[in-house]
Amino acid sequence: MSMPQPVTSLDAARRNALAAKTDDGRNPGLPLDLDWVESVRVNRSAVERRIATLGGRRTVKKDWQAAWLVKAITCIDLTTLAGDDTPGRVRRLCAKARRPLRADLQEALGLAERSVQVGAVCVYHAMVETAVGALGGSGIPVAAVSTGFPAGLNPHPLKLKEIEASVAAGAEEIDIVITRGHVLAGDWRALYDEVKDFRAACGPAHLKAILGTGDLQTYRNVARASLVAMMAGADFIKTSTGKESVNATLPVSLVMLRAIRDYEAATGQRVGFKPAGGISAAKDALAYQVLMKEELGRPWLEPELFRIGASSLLGDIERQLEHHVTGRYSAAHRHPAG
């Protein structure tokens, strides 16, 4: 992906970001730079060639694979976003978040004395208080989906009130959904102002901006929306709600990672990435980790900068780790998420 822009604009963006850097590492954002946004181009064939070669060039096996899978667990946003969610289901999910690996597997992997926990638990607003209570003292944050999730078409004032209510209930992370129509219409000012308002409503909570990439039609739209969301102060950019017909894919993720890389190069500010939707197999988690490592480097393999939104992925990772320990595959029902 190419993001040419005038040197004077780039230098101004860098100065603004460095001057505004916060002590907590959050992204302070930038004034909207439409010249930068409009200059973004994406070479579709190059993106797809890059992804086509990913699996053949990088593989991890045996003990290394087990280590990468344990690392993946710590980056999962363990999620339940079902219409029939109950407090009991959420409490079970939180118990699994605290102890995602069976004790015998953790001991066999040499991790008996280590704390292995997921990155966060992600729920609807109605379940935030339940999750906060169930996770008390664990250090695991609660992430709340917000702003009219998944369509994002609620009135703007209601979206802001929903964010504020979730933060007041104890959510430390807010996963907002953008208005996809702003992207499709090329109204970058409207998108920037929307995300900036969401960022302000979050207060101390981290903002994860869901782009709904399956609805954005082109890689160029994905790249531009990624850049605008970061300019507006998003701490993470996220692919999908998990409710679209097309959710996280490796090619779309590559486009977003290149936008993150360019934003860091221009501003010195690191922004996190969260693929979500349809990631249910351990091999998929490995592919995303390899892509993160190759495109952004080792710091983006930590939960501070990388999350995987998933509900069933943890069960398959645990199953693969049991195979690593015992040499046998167990039935999937022996590894429930919660």
Catalytic positions are 175, 238, 274
Angle at CA 225, nearest 5°, toward 4 and 301? 85
Q: Give residues with Cβ within 8 angstroms of 209, minimum separation 6.
A: 176, 178, 195, 198, 229, 232, 234, 236, 237, 238
214 secondary structure, DSSP code: G
Q: Give residues with Cβ within 8 angstroms of 214, minimum separation 6.
A: 240, 244, 245, 246, 247
Task: Kindly list the strands in the beta sheet with 173-177, ordered across the sheet, starting from the edge strand earlier in the chain.
Answer: 272-274, 236-238, 206-210, 173-177, 142-145, 120-123, 76-79, 308-310
SS3 85: coil
192 secondary structure, DSSP code: H
Cα–Cα distance measured from residue 302 to residue 306, given in angstroms and rounded to the nearest whole number: 6
Of 165, 143, 171, 137, nearest to 78 (Cα)? 143
Cα–Cα distance measured from residue 286 to residue 153, given in angstroms and rounded to the nearest whole number: 34
Of 185, 177, 174, nearest to 211 (Cα)? 177
Angle at CA 299, nearest 5°, toward 307 and 107? 70
Cα–Cα distance measured from residue 295 to residue 293, given in angstroms and rounded to the nearest whole number: 6
Contact 242, 277 (CB under 8 A): yes
